[in-house]
Amino acid sequence: MRRPAVYRGFPRQTEKGNDVTTRSAVRIATVAVATALTLSTASTAFASQPRTVDLGVLPGGTGGFAFDVNNKGSIVGHANNAGGVNRAVLWDARGLITDLGTLPGDTSATAYTINEKGTAVVGQSLVPGGAARPVKWTPDGTATALATPAGTTVSRAYSVNDSGTVVGFSSAADGLYKAQRWSRDGTRTQLPALPGDTAAGAGWINNSGTSAGYSKSAAGAMTAVTWSPGGTVNRLTGLPGHDSYQASAISDTAIVVGNSYTGTTSHAVRWNRDGAPQELSPLPGDTAAGAYGVNDLGVVIGFSTDAAGVHRAVKWSANGTAKALPGVSAGNAQAFGVNNRGTVVGFSTGSAGVSRATKWKG
């Protein structure tokens, strides 16, 4: 059984004494207590000035991306090696970087999500030539290919919960995405699109087993949807006047976030527990925004874009206030993941124009 190679990231960031909880443990017994705790905790965390941390790279590598962080402080993404090949990696709370490897015979990989228990990581492994296969890694370093439908040409696993259930998509020669869910034992289920639609993709699953993603019509219009644990597809209400919209993530407290579009302009949107959509404004002076992640307290992360097309990483508080997250330099930055302690991960472009995996603390 292969053990993963472990390297010390630079600069090393060690965080000790963090008494963290899983996302599911944040659920509070009563609505009144949950609301009070959410507003108090979120406003306190949001008031602090974020500290920007370059997560470091593999030996000989130059850059990387971070896509998810759990409440234990474990972060996953990809980093390139000395040969310029992207490798799926895990940064632990001490700042150590682990190369998770690939499926046998593959050349590169990306890790998209780690569950709260830290017992599973999922992503894609690329065969020579670039076609993606869905993969799940276990803590001992074992990489397992997830089953795909006959004729699949591309497939990715995007999210895994603490039960080991995975969601993602697959597509065949026709190029139409089909939302997929894999149970802990690897059994695959295709999640349905909305009636009349021809494609769908699932991007996140929470610890209740509810998934979020999109359904797509033959004309190309997307509709944000959720799937119940039993696989029933549910349409989310869109913002008035918007052409197309999709869901990126769903918290354990049933808050959904994603992107909505007017023409080619992206708008960040949050659906609260009542299902009503709320547009999250970009940073002052910016023209577009998008939401990629949400924690159980309703804090949302993503990007804000100015008129010149420069992206800035952004965090929205539970009440919708936007705050810029400073990058390692003045280049592009985006945030992809956030945990319940308010730690955010993503990437920022360094002074040499190379993307660096980045953590924002506080």
Amino acid at the residue 116: E
On the question of pLDDT at 263 being above 50, the answer is yes
What is the pLDDT averaged over residues 8-25? Answer: 28
Residue 46 pLDDT level (bands cut at 50, 70, 90): low
Report pLDDT for 122: 99
Question: What is the DSSP code string of 122-179?
Answer: EEEEEPTTS-EEEEEE-TTS-EEEPP--TT--EEEEEEE-TT--EEEEEE-TT--EEE
Name the percent of the chain lying above pLDDT 70.
Answer: 86
Flag the least confident range among 19-28, 86-95, 112-121.
19-28
> What's the per-residue H, E or C state across 204-217?
EECCCCCEEEEEEC
Domain 5-361 architecture: 6 Propeller (2.120)
Which residues have a Cβ under 8 Å from the Cβ of 24 and sit 6 or more positions away?
A: 116, 162, 207, 252
Question: What is the DSSP code string of 211-265?
Answer: EEEEEE-TTS-EEEEEE-TT--EEEPPPPTT-SEEEEEEE-TT--EEEEEEETTE
Report pLDDT for 329: 74
On the question of pLDDT at 6 being above 70, the answer is no
pTM, two decimals, is 0.87
C-alpha span between 176 and 201 (Å, rounded) = 10
Flag the least confident range among 9-13, 59-63, 291-295, 317-321.
9-13
Report pLDDT for 348: 96
Report pLDDT for 358: 97
Report pLDDT for 14: 26
* 93-146 pLDDT per residue, tens: 999 999 999 999 999 999 999 999 999 999 999 999 889 999 999 988 899 999
* 176-192 pLDDT per residue, tens: 999 999 999 999 999 99
Spatial CA neighbour of 295 closest among 240, 356, 335, 253: 253
Beta-carbon neighbour count of residue 323 at 10 Å?
A: 17
What φ, ψ does residue 34 adopt, rounded to 5°?
A: -60, -45
Report pLDDT for 47: 57
Rounded to the nearest integer, the mean pLDDT of the chain is 88
| Parallel/antiparallel/unpaired status of strands 288-294 and 277-280 | unpaired
On the question of pLDDT at 300 being above 50, the answer is yes
* 195-212 pLDDT per residue, tens: 999 999 999 999 999 999
* 209-218 pLDDT per residue, tens: 999 999 999 9
* 303-346 pLDDT per residue, tens: 999 999 999 999 999 999 999 999 877 689 999 999 999 999 99
